[in-house]
Chain A
Amino acid sequence: MSALLEFLKTYMWPLIFALVIVGVLPLLAGYVVLMERKVMADMQARLGPMRVGPHGLLQPIADALKLLIKEDIIPENADKLVFWFAPVISVTAAMLAYSALAIGPFFQIAELNIGLLFIVAVSSMGIFGIILGGWASNSHYSLLGALRSTAQMISYETAAGLALVGGVLLAGTLSTQKIVLAQHGGTWFVFVAPIGFFLYLVASIAETNRAPFDLPEAESELVAGYMTEYSGFRWAVYFLAEYANMIVVASIATTLFLGGWLRPFGSIAALDFIDFFPPLSFLGVAGYCLYRTPKQPEPIQSIVMALFGGLCFLLATAMALPFVPAFAASKPGLHGAFWFLLKVSLYIYSFMWIRFTFPRFRFDQLMKLGWYFMIPLSIVNVLGLGLYKVLRQLQWSRWPAFLLTTGGTLLVAIWLVWLAQRKVAVPAPVGEMTEAEG
C-alpha cells in the first residue's frame, strides 16, 4: 500500500496530466471538427451547424452521442479481432505522442531527452491502425485505401522527418523543452528556416491524410478508404485519431518552428503589453457571448450561451491571475499554454484553409511530389541549415548567413520545380519498396 502511495507521489503530476490529456483530447478533437465545419461553412458562404446549442456549440457532443449509440457493424468475413483492435492502435499512437509534448513549461507529462524523436516514433505507429483496419475489413476499397495511405504516410514521413532534422539542428537538442528555450530571446526557427517550415507544413498535411493529399479517403474514388467498412463507435475512434494526429503535428510544428509557448516578441520589453492579450481575448469572447445570450431563439440555447460566456470569463480570470503579484509565478504556465494553443489552432486553421481551396492530387502526382520534390529539397534544406549553423559559429552575422543558405535552398527548389516541369519521361515512382531505409 505504501509502495503504491509512494509511486503516486513520485508520478503525481505526470499522471494528472495524462488523465487530463486522455479526457480533454477527445473533446478538443470534437471541437476541432466543429471549428473545421464552421471554417468550411464560412468559406463556402454557409452557416454550418447552428441547431445544437447556440451557433452549434454543442454539436460535437451530439455527434459523439450519435456515434456511440449507432449499431456496431462488423463485416461478415472480417478478421474480427484485428478489425476491433485497429482503431485502438491509431488512437493510442496519437495520444501517446502527447506524453512528450510541452504545452507550456509546466504542462508536460514527461520531459524526455529524446522528446521529438519519441513523438515521431510513436505517431508513426498510427500507420498500423490504418493498414490493419483496411486489411481486416476484407473489402477491396478498404485495402486499396489502406495501401495508399501507408505508401503516402511513409513517403511523406521521410520528408517531414528531414524537415524536423533541420529544426533540431538549429536547436541542438531533441528535448521539446530545450527546443523551445533555444528559441527564447532569439528568433523563432520559422524565420531562420522558412523552407523547412514550409516542407513540414506540406508533409504534415500529407501525413495526416488531409486534402489536397487525402487520397486514402478520396470519396470520389475509394469511397472512404480504409474506413469504408467502419461505422459507429469504431469509426468515431478513427476519426478521433485523425484529428488527434492533426493536433500532434500542429504541436510539433509549433514547438519546433513557431516558438512553442513563447509570446510573440517575447524579448522586446517595450511590447510587454502583449501580455494583456490572453485575458483580454477571453474577456472579449465572454462579452460577445453574454451580448448574444438574449438573442438566442430558444431559452435553453440562451442558457448554454450564458454558461459558455461564464466559462470564457473564468478563463479570462485565470489568464489575468499572473498580474496579481502573489501568483506571478504562474505566468509562464498559464500564458504559455494560451500561446501554445493559439499557435496550434492557427496551424490547424491553415490546414483547413488549404483543404477548402485546393483540388485533390492524383496518386502518382502525389508520389512524384513526395519523391522528386519534397525529399530532395528537405535534404538540401538540412545541408543549408547545417551550413547556417557553421557560418554562425564562424562569427557571421545573421542576415548574410540567412540569405545565403535560404537563398541557396530556394534556388534548389526552383531548379527542382523546373526539372519537374520539363516533360521528361520519368519512370513511375518506385515508392513503397525502398523507404524502410529512409
Chain B
Amino acid sequence: MVPIGHYLFLSLALFIIGVIGVLTRRNVIIILMSIELILNAVNINLVAFSRHWANVDGQIFTLFIITDAAAEAAVGLGIIIAFFKNRETVLADEMDLLKW
C-alpha cells in the first residue's frame, strides 16, 4: 500500500498550489477555483486518514466539505455575477469599493 506520508505530501502540494493561486491571481473566478483546490487537498487528507484508521468518519467530513464547497461556490459566483453586472470586471484588485 501507499504510505500515508505520500498522501500527506500530495495534499500539501495541492494545498500550496491553491494558496499561491489565491494570493497571486487577479481573476476572482480563478481565486474561487483555487479555494476549491485547497478544499480538495483537505479532502484527500481526510479520506486517506479514514482509510488509515479504518474509520468512516473522515469520509463523512469529506461529504460535509463538498457540501460547503457547493454552498460557497453558489454564493461566491452569485457575488461575482452581481459584481460583474455593475462593474463589468472580474479582477479582484478592481473590487475596491464598499458600495457603488
Consider the complex of A and B and state whether they touch directly, i.e. have CB atoms less than 8 Å apart: yes
Q: Is B70 an interface residue (CB 8 A)?
A: yes
* A424-438 CB contacts (< 8 Å) to partner B: 433-434, 436-437
In contact, B78 and A437 (Cβ under 8 angstroms): no
How distant is the Cα of A37 from the Cα of B30 in the complex, in angstroms? 46
Chain B nearest CB: distance from A114 CB in Å? Answer: 13
In contact, B70 and A436 (Cβ under 8 angstroms): yes
In contact, A436 and B78 (Cβ under 8 angstroms): no
| Main secondary structure on A side of the interface with B | helix
Q: Is B92 an interface residue (CB 8 A)?
A: no
The closest CB in chain A to the CB of B81 belongs to A433
The closest CB in chain A to the CB of B71 belongs to A437
Interface string of B56-81 (1 = CB under 8 A from A): 00000000000100110110011001
How distant is the Cα of A434 from the Cα of B74 in the complex, in angstroms? 7
Chain A nearest CB: distance from B40 CB in Å? Answer: 15
- List the count of A-B residue pairs having beta carbons below 8 Å apart: 12
How distant is the Cα of A437 from the Cα of B70 in the complex, in angstroms? 6
Give the size of the chain A interface in residues (CB under 8 angstroms): 4
The closest CB in chain B to the CB of A437 belongs to B70
Contacts of B71 in A (CB 8 A): 437
Contacts of A434 in B (CB 8 A): 74
Contacts of B73 in A (CB 8 A): 436
Contacts of B67 in A (CB 8 A): 437
How distant is the Cα of A434 from the Cα of B67 in the complex, in angstroms? 13
Contacts of B77 in A (CB 8 A): 433
How distant is the Cα of A434 from the Cα of B71 in the complex, in angstroms? 9
Chain B nearest CB: distance from A324 CB in Å? Answer: 48
Chain A nearest CB: distance from B33 CB in Å? Answer: 14
How distant is the Cα of A433 from the Cα of B73 in the complex, in angstroms? 10
How distant is the Cα of A434 from the Cα of B81 in the complex, in angstroms? 13
* A145-170 CB contacts (< 8 Å) to partner B: none
Contacts of A437 in B (CB 8 A): 67, 70-71, 74
* A394-438 CB contacts (< 8 Å) to partner B: 433-434, 436-437
Chain A nearest CB: distance from B72 CB in Å? Answer: 10
The closest CB in chain A to the CB of B72 belongs to A436
How distant is the Cα of A433 from the Cα of B78 in the complex, in angstroms? 8
Contacts of B81 in A (CB 8 A): 433
Contacts of A436 in B (CB 8 A): 70, 73-74
Chain A nearest CB: distance from B32 CB in Å? Answer: 13
The closest CB in chain B to the CB of A435 belongs to B74
* A187-217 CB contacts (< 8 Å) to partner B: none
Chain B nearest CB: distance from A178 CB in Å? Answer: 21
Contacts of B70 in A (CB 8 A): 436-437
7 A-B pairs with C-beta separation under 8 A: A433-B74, A433-B77, A434-B74, A436-B73, A437-B67, A437-B71, A437-B74
Binding site for A on B (CB under 8 A): 67, 70-71, 73-74, 77-78, 81
Binding site for B on A (CB under 8 A): 433-434, 436-437
Task: Other than A433-B81, A436-B70, A437-B67, give 9 A-B pairs with Cβ distance below 8 A.
Answer: A433-B74, A433-B77, A433-B78, A434-B74, A436-B73, A436-B74, A437-B70, A437-B71, A437-B74
